[in-house]
Amino acid sequence: MATNGINGTTSVYRPLKPGIYAPIPSFFLPLSEDLDFSTFESHVVRVAAAGVAPLIAGSMGEAIHLSHTERVKLIHAGRKALDNAGLSDVPIIVGTGAGSTRETIELGNEAAAAGADYAIVIASGYFAGALTRAALKTFFVEISEKCPIPVIIYNYPGASGGIDLDSDLIVELATECPNIVGVKLTCGNVAKLTRIAETVANSTWASTYPRKNPQLNFLVLGGYADFLVPSIFVNGHGAITGLANLAPYTIVKVYQLSEAARKDLTFLPEAQRLQGVAARADYAIAKTSISGTKFLLDKLYGYGGVPRKPLPPIENAAAEAIWTHPHTQELVRIERELSGKTV
């Protein structure tokens, strides 16, 4: 069975396609805080069945709270669950960012050996003030050259000490590093997304700067669900969004309608309507972070739990407020309609 191979040089079995991806939470057993693999596997399959591919050990997955061994076990569990559910074509992206270049490379090697298809890498924020533009470029270049699977750049200032890669640097990396196959923009900067997407959409760019695996393209993905429609209309490729854990059918529908509207504008009003629902909910729910998402998973699907310490669980008043918030309830209603579930 073909895989992505060393540095993406062999034929791709699970290509990275435009669409919707979800950063999967890591679930923990009460009291012990040990990983809850049963819940994790069920959740991976639930979102994948709705058309959402998983990102394991990312920010939402509390990667910073996981050991190397736990990350590997989650990759094994995710792959096994997908394969057993008949979803063997669904790729797995794994967060491999760490404090040092050395450990990031180590995590990339471990993820590849465990069955990950792609690595997503965030710049280390611990010494953010000392990381010059040149240092950041050197970091991503070295990672791309030494990672045995294709790499996605993860730009999230909130989790990297304020480091915010600009469009010029991201385009440079895309141009010079054929093993880099995409970027996730959790900076939420639509103008940045537009500049990068316009560059890589140029017909001559892909042929001039092919990926190491020629079957792959460079994807430009948003980090939230609230600007899917505009991003698709400027040649973006979808999103990796936490909201897809809670409402996968809704977010996939927004993406599908947006793509359809590019060819037939009669689809645009419905795309805009659902985009409004997603945007309002994303804005409200994102404020409650990981603990809020886990609480809402509990309310909607009967599992979720709490984060690992020192992250606190959501406070009771905040939990009640986010569940009863009209924008949350509007999303819940739409998700139930689209998924065919009434409870």
Q: Tell me the catalytic residues.
A: 184
Return d(Cα 77, Cα 16) in angstroms, integer.
20
Query: Residue 196 and residue 151: Cα distance in Å, rounded?
Result: 17
**Which residues make Cβ contacts (< 8 Å) with residue 181, sequence separation at least 6?**
8, 16, 118, 150, 151, 152, 211, 213, 216, 217, 218, 219
**Residue that has been written with the tokens 């500049």 in this structure:** 195
Q: Which residue has the tokens 């540095």?
A: 7
Phi, psi of 155 (to 5 degrees): -105, 105
Contact criterion met (CB below 8 Å) for 238 and 255: yes
> Hey, what are 69's tokens?
């061994």
Q: What is the DSSP letter of 122?
A: E
Q: 93 and 57 in contact (C-beta within 8 Å)? A: no
* Backbone region of residue 60 per phi and psi (left: phi > 0; alpha: psi in -120 to 50; beta: other values): alpha
d(CA 163, CA 134): 13
b (16+ CB within 10 A) / e for 130-153:
ebeeeebbebbbebbebbbbbbbb
CB-CB neighbours of 334 under 10 Å: 20
Rounded to whole angstroms, what are the CA distances from 320 to 113, 289, 301, 302?
A: 43, 15, 16, 16
Q: Measure the CA–CA gap between 63 and 49, rounded to whole angstroms.
A: 24
Q: How many CB atoms lie within 10 A of CB 67?
A: 9
Torsion over CA of 160, 161, 166 and 172, rounded to 10 degrees? -50
Q: Residue written as tokens 């010029």?
A: 168
